[in-house]
Structure 1
């Protein structure tokens, strides 16, 4: 084989490796991008509550090839500057439809260092994430179902 072809093949392999995204071939999931949370349902001890995140607040989640971050704030904060701002992020793993967030940063230290396991599903520009949210130090043990729309 000619050295030119070997270098061409090696260069192509390097480019493919460098361009990896959060895609899993078996499920075809590509979570990369900015996602706006539109609704969230929590189920605690069999009691369900749904929040419409398009009213009075805005929350986005940004996902790249290895990390995620989320930001939430009031759309019309009170004049006394008591804006309810929430933020966090960290690394994640994605295997098939199994998505695990490793929360390295959060506005409440009790949540940091925790891993949260979810099942994710993509349908067009909609991402649905469902899993258990458990933080013993906050007395939280609930199932959450979040629906996101991809921000264009």
Structure 2
């Protein structure tokens, strides 16, 4: 008689254990952590610009279970003109990484959604997508290369 009641409990337990997280699936690498930007390539109007972030300009992106934030600044003394920061919510499913920019100094960018494809090579993350913000007259492809920071 008890087996009759035990079977539904076992089935419910198995189903709940196999349910996948909305943000990722079992084959998706872990995107959570702190990432340091190595280089950024911008392609706009057939012009390509590559920015090296190994010198005076530094940027990190911090990603947790639901949100991301980025911070960029110059390490040169007395240079506060290069500071930039923003953040918001994100989703990450397979190789599709989507940022919903909720906070940014330029209000034209706030509330925008940016879709990227992400690939991993060991501790390196490469993010490629389009930044399009009509009010800011921005329409460009960006390719960013990050390295995972160790705790």
TM over 0.5: yes
Shift of 1:66: 1.1
Query: Matched residue of 2:135: which SS?
Result: helix
8 Å CA contact retained: 2:74, 2:80? no
Is 1:38 the counterpart of 2:70 in the alignment? no
Distance, in Å, in 1 between the alignment partners of 2:38 and 2:25 is 25
After TM superposition, give the deviation of residue 84 of structure 1 in Å: 2.2
Q: Deviations over 1:106-145 (max 9, x none)?
A: 1211110000000000110000000000111111100000
Q: What SS is found at the alignment partner of 2:108?
A: helix
**What pairs with 1:39-58 in structure 2 (closer than 5 Å)?**
39-58=39-58
Runs of at least 4 residues off by over 3 Å: 20-23
The more displaced of 125-134 and 45-54 is 45-54
Structure 2 distance, partners of 1:58, 1:131, is 21
Counterpart of 2:69 in structure 1 is 69
Q: Which residue of 1 aligns with 2:29?
A: 29
Structure 1 residue aligned with 2:113: 115
Q: How does 1:1-152 map to 2 (within 5 A)?
A: 1=3, 22-25=23-26, 27-78=27-78, 82-152=80-150
The number of equivalent residue pairs is 145
Residues in 2 aligned to 1:133 and 1:24: alpha-carbon distance in whole angstroms: 26
The gaps in structure 2 that reach 5 residues or longer are none
Larger Rg: 2
CA contact (8 A) 1:22 1:29 kept: no
Per-residue CA distance 1:72-99 (angstroms, 9 max, x = gap): 1111132xx6342111000011121111
Q: CA deviation at 1:28?
A: 2.3
Q: TM-score, normalised by structure 2?
A: 0.83
SS of 1:111's partner is coil
Q: What's the TM-score once normalised by structure 1's chain length?
A: 0.83
CA distance in 2, matches of 1:90, 1:132: 17
CA 1:95–1:22: 2 relative to 1, 3 Å: closer
